[in-house]
Amino acid sequence: MNLLEGDILPKKILLRHDDMILARRMLALVRPHWRRLALAMFLMLMVSASTAALAYMVQPALDDIFIKRDSSMVVMIPLIILILYGIKGACSFGQSYFMNYVGESVINQYRIMMYEHLQKLPLSFYDKNSTGELMSRITNDVNSVQQTVSSVITSTIRDFFMIVGLVGVIVYRDWFMSVFALLVFPLCVIPLIKFGQRMRGVSTRSQESRARLNDILHETFSGVRIVKGFCREKEESLRFSKEANLLFDLRLRDLTIRAMSSPAMEALGGIGIAAIVYYAGERVISGLSTPGLFFSFLAALLMLYEPLKRLSNINNDIQGGLAAGHRIYDILDTPQEITGAPALLNHPPTLRKQIEFRDLRFSYDSGREVIKDISLTVPAGNILALVGPSGGGKTTLINLLPRFYELNDGAIFLDGDDIRDFSLRDLRSQIAIVTQQTFLFNDTVRANISYARPEASPEEIMEVAAAAYAMDFIERLPKGLDSVIGEAGVLLSGGERQRLSIARALLANRPILILDEATSSLDTHSEMFVQKALENLMQNRTTLVIAHRLSTVRKADRIVVINEGRIVETGGHEQLLAQEGLYKSLHDMQFKLDEGMGSFLSAAEKVKP
């Protein structure tokens, strides 16, 4: 990497070429706020000017009050000091508010940009990145960027002006001026208590808003297949944006209180200094005290110390912000899902004839082929069952249909049209998915069922709930359809959660249905209800079923046995049993397992007290 050469920057602040590119990209988000930045810069200049003026006022205070003992100046100079501190405090609050407004605006924009971009990334990205890591990028990293955008810029410009102003005073006067008044510490405690009380309420609401924000992140990242399968990316982005904007408002309120606290305490300090000048002036006039050059020297020295100290520590904030910026743009630069070509086929692919898998080959990033030369046709309205040993490629095959992953070779056709010629939204709007790991939101039963179609009427929701055999347990809930079911439906049993997901798929009313191990984790009693619900769901739909329990696929129009990424057998249940192949081995193994489990349960029943 090329480094900036020369003595303009210290060694620790040298920026790499990619850091400079990153800085320009980050500043592009700041540029639309140039009016607020210009106003903040003017206010910073006023803060620096008032600071320099305060240092300048030490000389006339010493000469006119302590030396000349001019009684009129005893009133005039403290009044000027009060005015200067008032200007400095107001301008300090203004520049802090506007700079923090810009910083928080950039943070809010980054959060929304990243969330919307993450919604558009393929499943392969989520396979390689943990939910906690992604949440950290959106929350912690953008906060580090805010530190760079607002605090670093503010400190650099303000302290530069301040140093220039104080040096100008020193050069003009030829000696440093002393701070001759101390802040009145007990009085400073009062605004701290008052501001602390206000801060506590705002901070609590901010934490609650952050918690809701993390809930949304956790739910949508964990349920990304459901969100994508039901084409709800836009709605989830709007839901996130609403909560993010609320947090933005709370953060502004928080920062407003913080910005007010420092000028308020500084104003109290100004009152103390003015009072001490008045008191000391009276003593000089009375002949009880004499001025000295030492006070002037000490004043400028102490005033210069703070801005110089802040500038010396600014590199840490810069480096932290750049590191966070790289992490943010690692995500923003990740290619999105290939959205398809709606210009070629801009109508929904409603299935009328068949689904065709032709010469499919697919591998994940590891390079090992998971799907190897699979060709398969599923007539419209048929039920196709996929069985075989775990890891054989069944789930991968059906994930290729809604284009959760992109093929390496081959093609998939709906009624003769390549699915890559449809937009992702058109394609996925024709497919309903029910998986083994049901995902429900921390919301009401009604909201979870209507997730597939929010405009559905109450009658339609009740109808599909009844068809999914869910009304029996819904009616037992405290508020029925309006009962909140907890995170991921934790307040419901596995069978109840599965029936709600079936009701959701029924309400979507899509011509293609994917069932991925929909009953494998259920007990016998729950499975009975879920099987009945699935029978209602599969009516008049083209269905692809994956099941380890072979009893659930006997009614399929066709059974395909997949092993090591290839189709090894195909046919009906009885036909496959007669072939004495892998299907029969799996069937016999399942029969023995069920028989053994039945014997175990019977024995357990007998030994019950």
Lowest mean pLDDT among 22-26, 372-376, 460-464: 22-26
How far apart CA 143 and CA 111 sit, in angstroms, is: 10
Look up residue 105 and give its DSSP letter. Answer: H
How far apart CA 227 and CA 471 sit, in angstroms, is: 25
The identity of residue 384, as a single letter, is: L
The per-residue pLDDT for range 180-189, each reduced to its tens digit, is: 444 444 455 4
Structure tokens at 376: 């398969």
Map 124-181 to HEC letters.
HHHHHCCHHHHHHHHHHHHHHHHHHHHHHHHHHHHHHHHHHHHHHHHHHHCCCCCCCC
Superfamily name and number for 15-184+264-332: ABC transporter type 1, transmembrane domain (1.20.1560.10)
The per-residue pLDDT for range 485-520, each reduced to its tens digit, is: 887 788 888 888 888 888 898 898 889 998 888 776
What is the pLDDT at residue 444? 92
Domain boundaries, the chain: 15-184+264-332, 354-579
The per-residue pLDDT for range 201-259, each reduced to its tens digit, is: 565 566 556 657 766 777 777 677 788 888 888 888 888 888 888 878 877 877 776 66
- Pairing type for strands 383-387 and 542-546 reads parallel
Instruction: Write the class of the CATH domain 354-579.
Output: alpha beta
pTM beyond 0.75: the answer is no
How far apart CA 608 and CA 218 sit, in angstroms, is: 43
Look up residue 450 and give its DSSP letter. Answer: G
Concatenating the DSSP letter of every residue in 471-514 gives: HHHHTTSTTGGG-B--GGGTTS-HHHHHHHHHHHHHHHT-SEEE
Concatenating the DSSP letter of every residue in 538-560 gives: HTTSEEEEE-SSGGGGTT-SEEE
What is the pLDDT at residue 208? 59
How far apart CA 170 and CA 52 sit, in angstroms, is: 9
How far apart CA 35 and CA 37 sit, in angstroms, is: 5
Confidence bin at 523 (pLDDT 50/70/90): low
Look up residue 568 and give its DSSP letter. Answer: E
